[in-house]
Structure 1
Amino acid sequence: MIVSLACILIPGILYSVFMMLGEGRDGSKAVPLPLQTPSETVTHVKPVFSEPEYVGKSACVDCHQKEVEAWTGSHHDLAMQEVNQATVLGDFDQSEFEKDGEVTRFSKQGEVYYVTTVGPGGTAEKYRVAYVYGVFPLQQYLLELPGGRLQALSVSWDSRPQQEGGQRWFHLYPDQKIHHTEALHWSGMQQNWNFTCAECHSTNLDKNYDAQSDRYDTRWSELDVSCEACHGPASNHVEWAQQQDNSATELTSLNKGLTHVFNERQGVHWKSNAQTYNPQRSEPRRTETEIQTCAACHSRRAQLFEDDRKGQALMQSYLPSNLEPGLYHVDGQIDDEVYVYGSFLQSKMYAEGVTCSDCHNPHSLELKVSGNGVCLQCHNAEKFESVSHHFHQQDEPGSQCVDCHMPSKLFMQVDARRDHSFRIPRPDLSEQLGTPNACNQCHSDKSASWATDRINAWFPGPKPGHQQFAHALQAARLGAGDAEQQLVALLQRPDQPAIARATAAQSLGPYLSSQSLPELANALSDPDPLVRAGAVQAFDGLPAELRWQSLSPLLTDDIRVVRTLAASQLADISAQHISADQFSLLQSVVQEYEQAQKHNADTPASRVNLGNLYGSQSKWAAAQGEYQAAIKLDPGWIPAYINLADMHRIRGTDDEGKKILSDGIERNPDSAALYYSLGLLQIRLQDKDKALKSLAEAVQLSPENERYSYVYIVALMEMGQSAQARLVLQQSLKLNPNAANLRSLKNQLP
């Protein structure tokens, strides 16, 4: 049976962009909030504490001198600082840096530091440095722009010693020529401090973005990452400490007034298994308050709600990213900067109960023991710190545990970050899947096959390691014929990391059938909220009755991000199809979802999400306003054009949609997605000659995209251009040899 365009073009394209992940900069002129000063004496005991408030580091010093001393001078302490001679590390003595014909000049007048560089208008302007940002191995500088914005300059100072290549100005994106109108320009949205950086570089942040005026009034209580950034607002703890009788039962039962209690390691020790020499925790870790507190900043995630640090679980405010292309390789190794948490969740160490402070001093942020010593706190030195284990000369490269089990990758040009998934080197996967491996990272002159042979010689019948999901995720990314079966098999393995199973659940969306749908439905009740969240997102596009039946129980999920994700999938359900009580519940959770998007209304992703929400409710004017607001915030945000055009498709006004896509292409001529969407629209308008040109352009710009190729080939077949269709198919199969859709076309061509 010949596949017809009618089968694949009617639904249109609707992008869901619930998350905007990644580190960008979004700023405003920050004004410190006044600190709350605790009363000097409290002579009575309250049975219940009041709502906790932030009191500032000064309230902690007297009782916690050792911790404050360790914190002082740490990267948390120096995360962001006022500008003065002591804090500015860069050379501002009339120095210059040139890139792509543009010169950036650095100067100072007394204690005021200036940068002269090309600004948002395309001409060189002189800007005052508002704050220094970070300290090592690089330091950035925040410049003020109108609207309360603080922007991170892309020309940064390499603060490493000169003998290590430091003490110089450098550009974070040396291989990219960035126009002043682009979001990646230092003055653009992606370098905006207020949205992307501020939450994790200061304490008690209030972003205070006003969508109507497009202005920030960002405030904080402390400029850096201080005590309460991790321990939560401490007013009740200070009150407890000042009680004359602080042993009162009602107070101790309230955790001494603390919002976070980091007691996972209390009374716990590690012992070595007599047979395997592997370490074992003396008792299971039953909570992960510490890990989730660290993950609020040390993760690649979307922040959907304000996080006031009052002890709530991570996913009450944040949605961590899964093992997505561009962020992670298919085996889970880091590809982009993902900030540790998503890697650590994959590790056997996490599964066995290790916490962050088993290895790191949480106040100084340094390793608790240097070198291999940090691993040998738990692992048997006789077995693991020996040539018979690592097969390298002692104290030479390859003899350190991290060399093989925590390979590093360079980010921001000078900042090496280690992978925290603690995996066994798998050069055999490099051969099969093209993933990196620790062996060839050092032995770059050798092949992955050579490394595989060495591993097999040293460890006959080597174990695959804890992470056993690479082939399933590869199948999903390639659109392989057995992708559905492999994803279901991974989803059914509770021994595999939850983040991998969540990725499998989310990836099942395009492959759902009567066989896999029950397994996806089972994942909606998984004990891990990350898996539930992944499963919810796979229901996008399914019939309303099926979505309601499967997802409505999650409207009462105790994790806010999970229930709001469910609400976003059910927002189009009308009152006529469910009971009054059910509709009331749905509307209340939809409002939570709407609140999450409005919290991030300074990003085009959230404005598109709001547009999608209002469109699902047939609030067309509101939807159009949000899509247009997204384009205004970032003319390069492609989903805004596509979803706005799709709204016109739904309303039967494709001519308007055509104008929108054409405008998007004019602004973004290298966008394959825009050409593809325009090609679909032109087919609906029966302008097939122009449609072929648009689809051809999409394939040329993104030849690896199997969907674009498939639709273009089918269009060529229907237009009687079999020879060209066969040529495109051959080229596409070279790039996507496992793509089931493409292979299905081979026998249909004459």
Structure 2
Amino acid sequence: MKHKIQYLFFFVFLLFLASCSHKKEQYNAVGKTDTTAIFISSKVISDSLFVGDQACKKCHKQEYKNWKGSFHDKAMQIASDSSVLGNFDNQRFTSQKVTSHFYKKDGNYYVNTQGPDGEYYDYKIEYTFGVKPLQQYIVKFPNGRYQCLNTAWDSQKNKWFSLYPDFKVVHSDWLHWTKGAMNWNNMCADCHSTNVRKNYNTSTDSYHTQYSLINVSCEACHGPGKEHISQVTKLAGQYKKSTSNLKMTTGMPSKKIVDECARCHMRREQISTNYNYKGTLLDHYYPNLIMQNTYYPDGQILDEDYVYGSFIQSKMYHNGVSCVNCHNPHSTSIKFEGNKLCMQCHEPAKFNVPSHYKHLSNSEGAKCVNCHMPGKFYMKNDFRRDHSLRIPRPDLSIAYGTPNACTQCHTDKDNKWALENYKKMFGEPKKNHFSDLLAPGLTGKPNGLNSLLTLAKDTAYPVMARASAINGMKPYLNAQVVNQLLSFLKDDSSLVKAASLDVLGQIDNKDYFSYFLPLLKDKKRAVRIKAFFAIGGLDELQVPKEYQEAYKKVKAEFNANINQNADFVGGRMKKADYYLKKGKLSLAISEYEKALKIDNLNNIARTNLANLYYRNGDMVKAEEAFKTIIKQEPAYGETYYSYALLLSELNRTNEAIAQIKKAIQYMPDNIRLYYNLGLMYTKVNNYAQAKITVKKGLEKSPQNGDLLYILAYTYFKNKEYENAKKTAEKLVQLYPNNQSYINFYNQLKGNR
């Protein structure tokens, strides 16, 4: 039976950084919400309003001294003898059979390396990026593009190295240094300079990127200083009396400080066209939630998350700790070395003693960060710590394959050993962390959906975890889940509302639009834009009068968001999915094809495109797309499954069976595969294999209604009427409210 709700087959690939006392927060942070819309303009701030660090130095000598030479100061520099750290003295470096030659000519720095067509060219180094532990180099390309080399300088070991030494990155790959992954304009600029405007032109596929100041200056954090300087001058230097609207000032609530830093220290999607210091975090950016490939299912770092997404999971964040409690905001260095940093808040007699850390004093195991902030190396040599500040959980490692600090240090031991020793030292792990509910849901455990719902509803848990639980419900989406999700649209958390809209936005059913329309007036731009996407299937003339003004304003915000991200695969996919909601299939196909021009290896986009080709009746292109995916990613089981369904529709059932059997090899726990394979076997009258297949599925999920139904149907087709009736009777007992099962059982009872 087809359910009343129809679902669009698409994925939105998101694109992508006070005191410790229990002080009541007045700031309306990422976790809080408001229903009064404030339409913040994305108007660009003029370069003339930025005065530069030398103007700040006059009054803020100590702050300037701390900042000078910091990672922020050196975030981006013009390539010169004073800024370049790498050895360009006729040096050669080879990785994956590509040799780069670094040299100087006429006082400038050059590299001869593989270009976008696989041939070798000379490139002038225009800028340096960063200083420690590595420095990258930027070259100029046509159409306003600037690209970062994937060969970088290790400033600790003083040698050249590859950022991707373990990958054979060919010149046509998105990861190649001449392609999107290493593009400065959209991947780097916004956080390495001050007042950046990407200025991407979708019609010409070109950039005219601008900034006010080349590095992360004082005004990158505090905002343009011209008005402040003017007021201080009039006040004869008494800057504390200035009323100018500077950002990140003394006395700011801790959560607001974190949100301000998060603008760059966060893996996120950009919502607005330009960041202009107006509004709040969710008016300009939307953070990546805890999801596959970015985080482990318990929320620990997997890929780079740039701190924010981890830190807002932590107990510290929710108890008023902010970035500046541990880091000097101007030098960016930590305030104290060793455990003294943590003992600012934690009682030394209780926590900085062997009875707590269970290791020898002054050993690596006695350091707080090694147990509670383990880390990973990114970009090959950049070690970054997990800021979720959690207690090690080897029991979760055993259940879900997540890391724990114990075996990251004791590399010769396994998780079973870690759990046994943990119990000896601390007793049974306390199962009161959100990961005990999130991990089962994200990994598809039998009770996973209920775990996610429990987590999402419990406001005692971090908003990041609750929103991630909602995002994790996408694979479970049905009528009952939809009804649960609708209640979250009135949640106190804007992040929770936005996550709910992301999931509900997959529904192509106008019956739910009345729930989404009020959110066009939400205070946060991120929520409004997601609400607009969710009602994409609504014609503008059908918008109720009370929402028409808001609809027009949010439409402009939505279009600006789409254009802002049009140089990303995810941006093109989102535009395509919006066209699908509008019923414009050919335009959606065009956008997916453009997405693949950006990254020809993005098989999320290609899978969706293959299904759209199928929907459009272009079976040849659909089949070609599936074959391309299989060639590029032969171990990706989902493709075999989708390809099998296409072949089945084309009545090429035996070929479909072969493909779905391959899908089972890679996804043996996917119950739906056994259902479809069993159904295909009945289609070719191979009832013996149908029964074997379905019974294998039932071994994994004994009470699965779909499998029991197919088994009963197979028995019936094979004239095993008693077995059919017994199986159908079990179905009715398990699902007494399912009228389809009841009707089927009654038909079998009447069979002679």
Name the TM tier (shorter chain).
Answer: 0.7 to 0.9
User: Is contact 1:567–1:589 with CA below 8 Å preserved after alignment?
Assistant: yes
Equivalent residue, structure 2, for 1:538 = 503
Q: CA deviation at 1:709?
A: 6.5
How far did 1:584 drift? 5.5
Alpha-carbon distance, 1:442 to partner: 1.1
Q: What corresponds to 1:570 in structure 2? A: 535
- Specify the code of the residue in structure 2 equivalent to 1:241: V
Determine the C-alpha separation between the residues in 1 that align with 2:334 and 2:552: 48
Q: After superposition, what is the alpha-carbon deviation per residue over 1:544-598, rounded to whole angstroms, capped at 9, x for unaligned?
A: 2342132222111110011111111111023575534445643542332222011
Scaled by the length of structure 1, the TM-score of the pair is: 0.84
Tell me the residue number matched to 2:441: 476
CA apart distance, 1:148: 1.6
Q: Residue 85 of structure 2 aligns to which amino acid in structure 1?
A: L
The equivalent residue for 1:457 is 424
**Any idea what SS the aligned residue of 2:243 has?**
helix
Q: Note closer, same or farther for the CA distance 1:657–1:673 as it changes in structure 2 (3 Å cut).
A: farther
Matched with 1:156 is 152
The residue aligned with 2:268 is: 301
Preserved CA contact (<8 Å) 1:654 1:681:
no
2:400 aligned with 1:413, yes or no?
Answer: no
Q: 1:737 & 1:174 partners in 2: Cα distance? A: 42
Q: How does 1:287-436 map to 2 (within 5 A)?
A: 288-436=255-403
**545-554 vs 736-745, greater mean Cα deviation:** 736-745
What do the CA deviations read for 1:154-173 (whole angstroms, capped 9, x no partner)?
1111111xxxxx22222111
Pairwise mapping of residues 570-649 of structure 1 onto structure 2 (< 5 A)?
570-574=535-539, 578-582=543-547, 585-649=550-614
Deviates more, 1:92-101 or 1:413-422: 92-101
- Secondary structure of 1:531's counterpart equals helix
Q: For 2:7 and 2:653, locate their aligned partners in 1 and report how far apart those are by CA, in whole Å.
A: 16
SS in 2 for 1:238: helix
1:560 aligns with 2:525: yes
Matched to 1:197, the amino acid is C
- CA deviation map 1:248-295 (0-9, x unaligned): 9xx96xx72124243446xxxxxxxxxxxxxxxxxxx5x622111111
Q: Is the 8 A contact 1:424 1:464 kept in 2?
A: no
CA RMSD of aligned residues (A): 3.3
| Contact kept? 2:6, 2:508, Cα under 8 Å | no
1:143 deviation in Å? Answer: 2.1
Structure 2 CA distance for partners of 1:224 and 1:246, relative to 1, 3 Å:
closer
Distance 1:562 1:701, change over 3 A: same
The 3-state SS of whatever aligns with 2:57 is coil
Amino acid at match of 2:196: L
TM-score, length-normalised on structure 2? 0.84
**Equivalence for 1:21:** 16
1:47 aligns with none
Would the alpha carbon gap of residues 604 and 461 (structure 1) be closer, same or farther in structure 2, given more than 3 Å must change?
Answer: closer
Inter-CA distance 133–209: structure 2 relative to 1 (3 Å threshold): same
Compared with structure 1, are the counterparts of its residues 436 and 643 closer, same or farther at alpha carbon in structure 2 (3 Å cutoff)? closer
| Contact kept in structure 1, 2:613 and 2:621, CA below 8 Å | yes
Q: What's the CA shift for 1:418?
A: 0.6
Shift of 1:486: 1.2
Q: Secondary structure at the match of 2:504?
A: coil
The answer to whether the 8 Å contact 1:644/1:660 transfers is no
> Residues 588 and 699 (structure 1 numbering): CA distance in 2 closer, same or farther, change over 3 Å?
farther
Hey, what does 2:469 align to over in structure 1? 504
Task: Tell me: CA distance 1:620–1:231, structure 2 relative to 1, closer, same or farther (3 Å).
Answer: same
The 1:154/1:246 distance shift into structure 2, 3 A limit, reads closer
Select which of 212, 232, 245 maps to 2:203: 212
The alpha-carbon distance between structure 1 residues 433 and 80, as it changes in their structure 2 partners (threshold 3 A), is same
- 2:129 is aligned to 133
**Aligned residue in 1 for 2:190:** 199
CA shift at 1:645, angstroms?
4.3
Aligned to 1:260: 247
CA contact (8 A) 1:12 1:680 kept: no
**CA positional deviation for 1:648:** 4.5
The answer to whether the Cα contact below 8 Å between 2:7 and 2:508 also exists between their aligned partners in 1 is: no
CA distance in 2, matches of 1:335, 1:406: 13
Whether the 8 Å CA contact 1:601–1:607 is kept in 2: the answer is: yes
**Hey, what does 1:41 align to over in structure 2?**
none
Pair 1:723–1:424, CA change in 2 (3 A): farther
Summarize the Cα distance change of 1:617–1:64 in structure 2 as closer, same or farther, 3 Å threshold. same
| AA in 2 matched with 1:260 | K
Query: For 1:64, which of 48, 51, 60 is the aligned residue?
Result: 60
How many aligned positions are there?
686
Gaps of 5+ in 1: 1-5, 23-32, 37-52, 161-165, 266-284
User: Which residue in 1 is equivalent to 2:232?
Assistant: 241
Distance 1:333 1:741 in 2: 35
Query: Whole-Å Cα distance in 2 between the matches of residues 295 and 404 of structure 1?
Result: 25
SS for the counterpart of 1:169 is: strand
Larger CA deviation: 708-717 vs 566-575: 708-717
SS at match of 1:571: coil
The Cα shift of 1:729 comes to 7.3
Aligned letter for 2:361? Q
Q: Unpaired runs of 5+ in structure 2?
A: 18-44, 716-752
Change (3 A) 1:727 1:94: farther
Could you tell me how far 1:311 is from its partner in structure 2? 4.0
What is the deviation of 1:614? Answer: 2.3
Q: SS of 1:319's equivalent?
A: strand
Offset at residue 304 of structure 1 (A)? 2.3
Instruction: Please list the CA deviations of residues 180-234 of structure 1 after superposition, one character each: whole Å capped at 9, or x if unmatched.
Output: 1010111111111110111011111111111111111111111111111111122
**1:332 aligned counterpart, secondary structure:** coil
Structure 1 residue 445 corresponds to structure 2 residue 412: yes
Letter in 2 for 1:81: Q
Structure 2 CA distance for partners of 1:493 and 1:298, relative to 1, 3 Å: same
Alignment pair present for 1:658 and 2:633: no
CA distance, structure 2, for counterparts of residue 442 and residue 738 of structure 1: 41
Identity of aligned residues (%): 35
Q: For each residue in 1:66-116, what CA deviation from the matched residue of structure 2 results, as whole angstroms up to 9, or x when unmatched?
A: 111101111111111111122222221222122232212111124311111
Instruction: Provide the secondary structure at the position in 1 that maps to 2:573.
Output: helix
Q: 1:606 to 1:726 in 2, by over 3 A?
A: farther
Give yes or no for contact 1:231–1:309 (8 Å, CA) kept in 2. Answer: no
Distance 2:97 2:705 in 1: 47
Residue-by-residue CA offset, 1:688-725 (whole Å, 9 max, x unaligned) = 34434444555556667666666455434544456666
Give the 3 Å change call, closer, same or farther, for CA 319–728 of structure 1 in structure 2: farther
Match of 2:139 in 1: 143
Write the distance in 2 (CA, Å) between the matches of 1:13 and 1:512. Answer: 12
Q: Given that residues 262 and 289 in structure 1 are in contact (C-alpha distance below 8 angstroms), is that contact kept between their aligned partners in structure 2?
A: no
The amino acid across from 1:54 in the alignment is F
Q: State the alpha-carbon separation in 2 of the partners of residues 326 and 738 from structure 1.
A: 31
Is the CA contact (8 Å cut-off) linking 1:675 and 1:694 kept in structure 2?
A: yes
Distance, in Å, in 1 between the alignment partners of 2:54 and 2:611 is 55
The equivalent residue for 2:82 is: 86
1:434-486 deviation digits (Å, cap 9, x = unpaired) = 22111111112223233223332333455446xx2224333323333322211
Contact persistence 1:608–1:639 (CA under 8 A): no
- The answer as to whether partners of 2:440 and 2:451 remain within 8 angstroms in 1 is yes
